Amino acid sequence: MPRDRAAPLGTRTELAAGACGFSRPHPDMDRQHAEKPHSHTTAERASSGLSQNPRISFHISEPTRDLSYRKAPQGSASGDRPVHSATILLSNSQSSQAALVPQEHKMFLEEAYNAAICFKMLRELNSSDTLRLKHIVSKIRDMAHRAPNLVLETIYDYFIDNLEVGAARAIQLLHVLETVIGAMDSLEETWKEAFMKLALENMTKSTELEEAYQDAAGNVLVAICRHSWQPVAQQLETEVLTGVFPHRSLLYVMGVLTSNQQLLSQGEKACWEEKLTQIAVKSVPFLNTDVWSKELLWALTTPDRTQQEQPPEKAFLFVYYGLILQAEDNGNTVRTHLRTLLETSHQWPKQREGMALTTGLAAARHLDHVWAVLEQFGHSAPIKWSLHTFSPKTSDDLRWKWASSTILLAYGQMAVKAKAHILPWVDNILSRMIFYFRYSSWDETLKQSFLAAILMLVGAISRNEGAHSYEFSQLPELLECLMVLMEKEPQDTLCTLTRQRTLCIISSLCKLRPPLDLEKKSRLLTICLRSVLALPLPDVLEKHTCLFLEPPNVQTLYNKTSEALDHMLQSLLTQDPTTDELRLLLSHLYVWLVSEKAHERQRAVRSCAALLRFLNDNLYLHPNNDFRWMGQLMGMLGILCQDPDVATQRSSLEGLGHLYCLLLRQRAEASKAKTLAPEQLSQASEDEAPLWSSGDQKATPPASQEVVFQKDQIFQLGSSQVIKEIMKHLSLEELTDLVWTTVNSLGSTGPCHGQAAADMLLTIIQEHGAKLETASDASTSVNGQSQARGREGRLRALVPEAAMNTLHELQFAREFKEAVQEAYPQLLLALLTQILYILELNLPEGPRVGQEAQGAATPSPQSTSLEALKSLVSTTGHWQDFAHLELRGSWDLFTTIHTYPQGVGLLARAMVHNRCRQIEAVTRQLLPALQSQEVRARKVAMLILNEFLYSPALLGVLPEQAALTVLARSLRDCSPEVRVLGLQGLGNILFHPEKGSLLCRQLPPFLDGFFRSSEPVVVRLMGTVSDTLHRLGVHSVGAQSLSIAINSRSFFEDERDGIRAAAMALFGDLVAAMAGREPRSLKTQVQQSMVPLLLHLKDRCPAVVTQAKFAYYRCAELLGWRLRHTLFSSLAWERGLSARHFLWACLMSSSQEEFSIHFAQALSCLHSCQHHIKTWAALFIGYTLCYHPRAASQTLNDSDTKLLLRTFEDLRKGPEPGMPEFAARQLSFLQEVVADRSGLPPSPLTCHLPNSSPGPTACSAPPRLHRARLHNIFPFERKI
């Protein structure tokens, strides 16, 4: 390519840079272009390449107006470039200026602008700044999406016009080209041909950065393959089959195409592999060419730059060599080449893997010859020497040290590539593998090679359909080797995949014949469980990886190893789906269930639950097998449900649920089997596979509908309920085993296990004591071991407490989320009843019985049940009901027997006010609860029903007449409390609509009483008005709501704490009662109350703060604010700067039209006698001044400004930490705002800033000054 072709590009980009506001190129570049004769370059500019940058139309310099259109020359000078349609070129002639129309002129400028940008970025690729280079490449790639042809042509021109550029610079250009081509959606044929030619020319070029340069050029070819791989493959085939050994860069590209799984689709991958096979067949004659074969061997044996990673060209060469040997018809030639290959060095792992792969590919067609070569090589002198040498002394010793590892891998590859032909060879291959494993020098290399080879062999067998008809005689010996390998693994470290791979191999071997005998299976279980479950905790294991260059993720590694262990247990059970096999597996796990180490118990119970889940979901045991060990296992899992470790509790509960389902199914099928005549049973076994077989189990089992229902419901219960359900189906023998399991655990030294055993034993005796022959013996044991357990009432409370703990955990488990939501009505009533039950026990607050000696105070049954109730309401989508009680501090009402009815009533009232969707479902549960034999259940139901009478949703389930009948029936209840509640319900306004007008007429006298001097009288009157609003229900107070709002708001700033709190409570109740039907005047009152309520969040009285929070939240709901959940969280729990800023931002963004009112209210609070409110009012004003300075300055008058100045001056002298600095900066800031408003000369702080734009809006964005000053003002607020 002539060098004089660089001139047009340089001239064009130089002029374009000037036209678009860029600096001119380097002076040396100018001189270089000026000395060269002018010529022209083709440069098509597609419409997709047009820039949308608006700056083009504003910066048009005079020289750019001298333009013309010409066709690019098509002579030989441009023959090497891709030719497109006519191109716009710059011209020094002014004769054709009139030919330019405005649109074409703009198009040219836009193209020139983009070309200049791209050219400038390409010139900057010689930067040594890595981050800068990444940024440039990213920018060019983005430009290619908008203007692909422009970018490709610019890169092509730049590359061709700078042929003498340095190798490092050229590598950067090739990298950019690769990135651009790879990022494009499509590539035109012209560009494919041009860049393919460019890549092939540079792939064989010799430079000081030879391999890096060639690989960069090869990557361009790979990028082209993403768009069309066939032309590239055809070109590669042509280059490879010339008879000369292929250049390494060609092998590099073929290696990338072979190994990159994302480059080609599945269909394209298959076509490429077929193409490789064809190339290999055509390459067979080269094996007999001495020069070609020597170069091949030299390329295969040359040491790599880094022995840990093999370059793609070498990895491909092993594949290519194997395919050629596979295609060779002459077996002697195959033997010769394999022997030559195996006699090279075996020192490096990638070299060993490559030789094994070549051997395996050759075995696909020449299995006998490959076996003979490996046998001969195994009996050679170097191999015999390596088997008995443990400390190599010379480099030649290292060459042969790991030759046995190569042989192991070669046997594995043989099995993979031979496919269906491998089965008759399996025992022979296994015998050789076992030999090398036992007699080679033991190290990590041999161990990993052995496992990799076995995995390949087992995988090949598993994929063969006829494997189950073979009986492999070497399997027992292989299992012995695997057990030895597991035993030799260090018990205090986990750094490799050895355990995981070994367990996977064992899982696969379990499916083959012959099956394991009982003794060997028991030993295998013992070794594998100890190797995995006895590992230290992950943080201890991580300490052993501190010296690794790339330490493994120990937690992930253990999780995968544990999954492999579970899969092994499941495989054993799959092959023998009987209760005897299950008992064998569980008996080995039982040893670890009773371990004194918490992490070992956790791991064991997780594996146990996983095994029971697998059996419950996939297998059905034979009904003739009994579950005699059921009581022992159930007892252990039940005790572990009280384990201090949360994960152990969850796994134990899950295991109990699966055990229950398994027991029910076994009982149902055993009962069915007994009802069938022997002839029917025999006929059924002949006609179809038995339900307990290990075949296809997708069909629904013939269990009763009761069993299916129980399976769905059992996982929603607590551990004590599950235990009770299981005990109903246990035989006397199984119950006896359960009793003795719990008795033996009473003396356990484990945390809480003794107490858990006592709880379970008490339940057993209460439920089934009459039928237990050992009840008296058990009682004797209990007397001796549980004297310190506490009194009987405490033991009775511990059982429901366990259920509450379990339920509390289930509410936060994702797998139970849907079930908890569906059971919300039942759970709500159960929890409310449970709290009342515990309150009636009158238990003393304090540590749990049995924990005093340890000095650990644990939550009481009352707090546990209350937390379960709170989490149920908050985690099932009823957070608004939760907020109603949380903001008012009403949860404390559930902690005493006297305030409990009020707490239940407020919870039900919250559901009514928030129009809870569960009201109808809860009402359906109330009806059976009202007929319960337990007084507490009827009491709870009546408390909720009385509040639900105010909800229109109630009538959809319980019509008015039916509600009257229910309430009338309650008047005959034996409990006085239920009768009183029934009378209150009968007086509801639902049954007496005339009460509405009567109550409304009583409101004016009550409002007049607000102005009495007695604080208790005023507080009670405000409470009476709140109660009246509640009793009116759906009957609105109408216009009187405005009077109530005005009267209550007038007491927000009262000096008496009780009246302020009562006024805010009344206002909040009014807003809640009028939600959805509020008059417009009430909404105005609400908007004008937001700032006082917000500022009173810092009131000195806690009761006022509580009522202000509730009223503020209810007002936000009525005004329809967004992010109400975040608002609730900020009001309930947040105390920092972010919460205050969020509340202020919500207010200002949701009521901009009330800006002046809010600002004036904040100013008025500067007169407050409460220092905290005055301070927070100043902070409110500070926020407003900084974020809305113009609107604030328009609102301020002179007196307000003076007040603010005095306030900040006083705060500057205050003792609070950080406040003097804050006030001082606010003073300065306020002076600037005033100066901006009055048009006075700015202070020295603002004289250097540009003028502001005219016409500010009410809440316009602050000028740059105020945004910059925010960071200087508000950090001091954090100290206040």
Q: Which among 139, 213, 225, 234 has a CA at the least distance from the CA of 182?
A: 225
The segment with the largest mean pLDDT, out of 42-51, 758-767, 1135-1144, is 758-767
CA angle 789, 790, 795 (to 5 degrees): 85
Is a pLDDT exceeding 60 seen at residue 644? yes
Of 366-375, 699-708, 1200-1209, minimum mean pLDDT range:
699-708
Residue 550 pLDDT > 70, yes or no?
Answer: yes
Split at pLDDT 50, 70, 90, the class of 894 is very high
Predicted local confidence at residue 474, as pLDDT: 93
Look at the block and give the residue holding tokens 């430009």. Answer: 143
Burial 122-141 (b: 16+ CB within 10 A, else e): bbebeeeeeeebeebbeebb
∠ CA 976-981-982, nearest 5°, is: 95
DSSP codes joined into one string, 481-503: HHHHHHHHS-TT---SSHHHHHH
Note the maximum CA span of the chain: 121
* pLDDT tens track for 478-534: 999 999 999 999 999 999 999 999 999 999 999 998 999 999 999 999 999 999 999
Give CA 1041 to chain center in angstroms: 49
Q: Which of these, 617, 501, 507, lies nearest to 561 by C-alpha position?
A: 501
Q: Which residue do the tokens 């083009």 mark?
A: 56
The two structure tokens encoding residue 1194:
């328009």
Check residues 1222 and 878 and name the one with the higher pLDDT.
878
pLDDT beyond 70 at 798: no
- The enclosing H or E element of 1040 equals helix 1040-1049
pLDDT in the model for residue 99: 47
307, two tokens: 């022995």
Q: Which of 1069, 1054, 1148, 1068 is nearest to 1101 (CA)?
A: 1054
**CA 246, 250, 255: angle at the middle one, nearest 5?**
115
- pLDDT-based confidence at 1184, cuts 50/70/90? confident
In this structure, are residues 235 and 196 in contact, taking their beta carbons and an 8 Å threshold?
A: yes
Q: Do 803 and 720 touch, CB atoms closer than 8 A?
A: yes
Sign of CA dihedral 458, 461, 465, 471: negative
Query: Rounded to whole angstroms, what are the CA distances from 658 to 655, 726, 731?
Result: 5, 11, 18
Check pLDDT > 80 for residue 1078.
no
Phi-psi region of 1261 (alpha: psi -120 to 50; beta: other; left: phi over 0): beta
Q: How far apart are CA 671 and CA 246, in angstroms?
A: 76
If one compares 590 and 320, the residue with the highest pLDDT of the two is 320
Most confident range, picked from 205-219, 725-739, 1090-1104:
205-219
Check whether 674 has a pLDDT greater than 80: no
Q: Which tokens is 22 given? A: 């860029």
Residues in contact with 144: Cβ distance below 8 Å, sequence separation at least 6, in sequence order = 151, 152, 180, 183, 184
| Residue 739 · residue 772 · CB < 8 Å | yes
Place of tokens 């599950």: 722
Mean pLDDT of 740-763: 69
In angstroms, the CA 246 to CA 299 distance is: 10
> What's the pLDDT score for residue 685?
41
Q: How far is CA 1198 from CA 67, 107, 1186, 1234, in A?
A: 64, 58, 19, 10
Task: Look at residue 46 in the predicted model and tell me its pLDDT.
Answer: 34
Two structure tokens written together for 108 = 């040219």
Read off the tokens for 1065. Answer: 């409570």
Segment of 120-129, 347-356, 573-582, 1095-1104 carrying the highest mean pLDDT = 347-356
* Rounded Cα–Cα distance for residues 269 and 233 (Å): 12
CA-to-CA distance for 429 and 422, rounded, in angstroms? 9
- Residue 766 — pLDDT band, cuts 50, 70, 90? confident
Q: Which residues contact 181 (CB under 8 A, 6 or more apart)?
A: 152, 187, 195, 220, 223, 224, 226, 227
Q: Are 151 and 180 within 8 A, CB to CB?
A: yes
Task: Please tell me the predicted confidence (pLDDT) of residue 1268.
Answer: 39
Q: What distances in angstroms separate CA 1170 from CA 396, 1056, 1097, 1109, 1222, one per listed residue?
A: 91, 12, 12, 18, 20
Q: How far apart are CA 777 and CA 526, in angstroms?
A: 35
Report the alpha-carbon distance of residue 410 to residue 401 in Å, rounded. 16
Is residue 9 within 8 A of residue 41, CB to CB? The reply is: yes
- b/e map of 956-969 (b: 16 or more CB within 10 Å)? ebbeeeebbebbee
Give the DSSP per-residue string, 318-358: HHHHHHHHHH---HHHHHHHHHHHHTS---SHHHHHHHHHH
Q: What is the pLDDT of residues 200-244, one digit of tens each?
A: 999 988 888 888 999 999 999 999 999 999 999 999 999 999 999
Q: Residue 525's pLDDT is what?
A: 96
843: tokens are 């238990």
Say what percent of the chain tops pLDDT 70.
Answer: 75
Amino acid identity of 101?
A: V
Whether the CB-CB separation of 495 and 451 falls below 8 Å is answered with no
10 Å CB burial of residue 1101 (0-12, 13-18, 19+) is middle
The type of residue at 1260 is: S
DSSP code string of 888-925: HTGGGGGGSTTTHHHHHHHHHHHHHHTT-TTHHHHHHH
Alpha carbon distance 417, 323 (integer Å): 11
Contact criterion met (CB below 8 Å) for 494 and 449: no
Kind and range of the H or E run holding 618: helix 598-618
The answer, yes or no, to whether residue 352 has pLDDT greater than 90, is: yes
- pTM greater than 0.75 (yes/no): no
Q: Report the chain's mean pLDDT, rounded to a whole number.
A: 77
Residue 63 near residue 112, CB atoms below 8 Å: no
CA angle 803, 808, 811 (to 5 degrees): 125
Gap between the Cα atoms of 1224 and 1212, Å rounded: 6
